[in-house]
Amino acid sequence: MQREVPLFITFITGILLIIAFFVPPVSKLEETFLDWYSIVAGITLILGLDSLIIHHLRKIQWKKEGWVHSLALILSLNLTLLWGFWSWWKSGSPFAPSASFLLYFYTYVFIPLQATMFALLAFFIASAAFRAFRARSLEATLLLISATIVMLGRTPIGHKIHPFIPVLSDWVMNFPQLAAKRGIFLGIALGGIAFSLRVILGMERSYLR
Amino acid sequence: MNTFWIRVQQMDRRILYIVLALGVLVPILARWKMDIHPSPEVKKAYDFIEAQPEGSTFLISIDYDAASMPEVQPMLHAILRHIFRKNDRVLMIAHWPLGVPLGQLALEEEARRAGKVYGKDYAFLGFRPGLAAVIVNMGKDFRSAFSEDYKGTPLDSLPVARGIRNYDQIAAVIGLEAGSVGDAWVQYAQARYGVHVILGSTAVVAPDYYPYLQANQIVALIGGLKGAADYERLVGYVGTASTGMTTQSVVHLLLIGFILLGNLAYALGRRQS
Amino acid sequence: MMVEMFWTTVAALLTLAIFSFLYEDNPFYKIAEHIYVGSSAAFMFIYVLYFDLWPKLWTPFFSKLFHGNLSGITSSQWWLIIPTILSVMMLTRLLGHVAPQAMWISRWPIAFTVGVGSGLGITGTLQGILVPQINATFLPLWTSSILHTFNNWIIVFGTLTTLAYFYFSVEHKGVLGGMARAGIVFIMVGFGASFGYTVMARVSLLIGRVYFLVHNWLHLV
């Protein structure tokens, strides 16, 4: 019962969505299923929230190392929720142009945190460029040459050095690069179809763990 | 002296960081400017939008968040300026929840600049979970995915959305991407319903979209800060992308220098040891 | 004006706190990092409520139910009970800490989402990737222009050899081995291009933050 019913649900929904693609009368049912999917998929976004909160509450409770950081996390979580709901109530939507949640919290707290977190990667990539990218073999040399052409060709400096550089970089992107990506895509697509079929037919059950 | 190249190899990473930081700071502070030559992929996007009859409706999808904001946000601004200047209309949705406000902020700013009216010229519908499911359902019946705007106003009360039943009334989907949503637009909106798709993306995912471009599955591709700068140039203003292009050039040269120095130190260091 | 200056300074300090990690790991970075994680989680919660449960379940169904307006609920809206039940079943995963034995209940909605994903995936991949991408590879290998012919060869040959490289069912010997070796050349050029683009992306993000500091905060440019 704990395994058979889920396998049956997967089989029916999977097959139905394939049939609906070819048989228009089933299309309305597909629309309904996709609508339900959208609702349930939303719920999955908040799964994991519990373990995050419990993990940090325990750290605070037992005053484990770094509990002050956990306190910051819990406080920011609660503050964000309160602010969001307050804006929802005050402005009719937390995302209204006049909502303080959008104007201040998102713009001046969330954006700098998220954007800077990812801007750090520029430094790590610089360090990697210096330490890791060695032209040790023909393959590695090809990679470096292709990267250099693209890095020059995709900025105005490439054109300044020689107008042919952007043309060459366009060529790399539109032909050899494209061919490799297409080969990889086709491989992934074939693998994806085979995997989906195995899931629908109940041969792949890892999602039931 | 014998160990010079070995020492170079083991240089503290923070020295590299300082050099990189200066490489970014100096061109910005010195306000160096460079000419921008728009690439063919971006021109196609501009020409396609330009060729649509006045009053066309574009569906813009926010599929990125603040992590890629410096690259994609200027694209959004430039495209919105272009669309509003042509007196076309915009419906905006989002597939990346954390990016929803970015779309909203740019839309409001550009609409204010162009003197556009909410509900008549543009509307913001917000986010729905489900990605492919949402994209497919919009092609069947737009209202089964979005029956109201982000404030809860029914679509039929908004003149800009009243006539929209499915993708047939959309001139093009403009997907602004930082991940795999662009693939879903191609697979489920373009392949299934034949709607025109223009993708603007971070430089990280842009190379993956070239096979779609050659197969005519997408109309055009605006990739990375350079793509954004190209679009700003085509629309005719200097925005943050164009301003950043000189810095980008300097830092790319610097990084190529790092790679060369790293290799040189490696080769000579090996000989020394 | 003052309000904006205050908030810009907050944003700048948070930016600097994250950048301070470059020197070494420190409490400022740690606090900023935890604030980011906490607020992201809360954000997700608000989104699910505001953009999912509110417009898709509350407005069309539960608000009417709670106000006793049963006649206002259409027959298709009554069906919303099913995704509601599935959503509640999904939430039993949250009970993992207190009642792990109840977690199996969440398998039903998971099975539903997996079924929908697989069904959509098969048709989407066939129609959206396999057919058009193979179609676009059927290019003439002899044209009136040498460059055009050469480029078509690159696409056809590159795609086939890359596929050969990833074909592991047969040992890479003979013709297949040769093709796989040619495939590596294309793959490396492809990865190089991706690397170049990734560098470009990361640098752009850094430019964005530094520009914020010197333009919006310090007004130096």
Assess if residue A9 is contained within a domain. yes
Identify whether residues A87 and A140 lie together within a single domain.
no
Cα separation of the two ends of chain A: 14
**pLDDT mean across residues, chain B:** 95
Nearest CA in chain A to C136: A182
Contact partners of A by the rule of 3+ C-beta pairs under 8 A?
Answer: B, C
Q: Are B110 and B77 in contact (CB under 8 A)?
A: yes
Contact B150 A156 (CB under 8 A): no
The total domain count for chain A is 2
A50 touching C (Cβ < 8 Å): yes
Q: Identify the band that residue A71 occupies on the pLDDT scale cut at 50, 70 and 90.
A: very high
Contact C193 A142 (CB under 8 A): no
Element (H, E) at B230: helix B224-235
Rounded-to-integer distance, Cα A184 and Cα B208, Å = 10
Assess if residue A208 is contained within a domain. no
**pLDDT score of A140 more than 90:** yes
pLDDT score of B1: 52
**pLDDT score of A11 more than 90:** yes
Assess if residue A176 is contained within a domain. yes
Q: Are B77 and B200 in contact (CB under 8 A)?
A: no
Query: What does the buried/exposed string (b/e) look like for B180-202 if buried means 16 or more CB atoms within 10 Å of the residue's CB?
Result: ebbbbbbbbbbbbbebbbbbbbb
Identify whether residues A88 and A28 lie together within a single domain.
yes
Identify whether residues A141 and A84 lie together within a single domain.
no
Helix then strand then coil, in percent of chain A rounded to 5, is 80, 0, 20
Q: Which domain holds residue A186?
A: 136-200
The residue-averaged pLDDT of A21-30 equals 89
For B:41-100, CB contacts with C below 8 A are 67-71, 97-98, 100
Contact A95 B252 (CB under 8 A): no
Query: B112: helix, coil or strand?
Result: helix
pLDDT tens sequence across B66-77? 999 999 999 999
Identify whether residues A84 and A141 lie together within a single domain.
no
- Of A47-51, A189-193, C168-172, where does the model show the most confidence? A189-193
Q: Identify the band that residue A97 occupies on the pLDDT scale cut at 50, 70 and 90.
A: confident
Domain endpoint, select from A92, A127, A160: A92
Nearest CA in chain B to A152: B252
Rounded-to-integer distance, Cα B175 and Cα B58, Å = 10
Rounded-to-integer distance, Cα B9 and Cα C88, Å = 57
Copy the structure tokens of residue C19: 């950048």
List per-block mean pLDDT (blocks of 10 residues) for chain B, which spans 273 residues.
80 93 96 93 98 98 96 98 98 95 96 98 95 96 94 96 97 97 97 98 97 98 97 97 96 96 90 73
Q: Provide, as residue numbers in chain B, all residues whose Cβ is less than 8 Å from the Cβ of C126.
A: none
Identify whether residues A82 and A18 lie together within a single domain.
yes
C141 touching A (Cβ < 8 Å): no
Assess if residue A144 is contained within a domain. yes
Which residue of B8, B33, B69, B136 is the best one to mutate when testing the A interface, meaning the one whose CB has the most A CBs within 10 A? B136
Q: Are C18 and A116 in contact (CB under 8 A)?
A: yes
Segments making up each domain of chain C, as ranges: 1-79, 145-221
**pLDDT score of A99 more than 60:** yes
Q: Give residue A204's Cα distance to chain centre.
A: 24
Q: Are C201 and B202 in contact (CB under 8 A)?
A: yes
pLDDT score of B262: 93
* Residue B98 distance to chain C (closest CA, Å): 7
pLDDT tens sequence across C9-63? 999 999 999 999 999 999 999 999 999 999 999 999 999 999 999 999 999 999 9
DSSP for B70-109 reads: HHHHHHHHHHHHHHHHTT-EEEEEESSGGGHHHHHHHHHH
* Residue C152 distance to chain A (closest CA, Å): 8
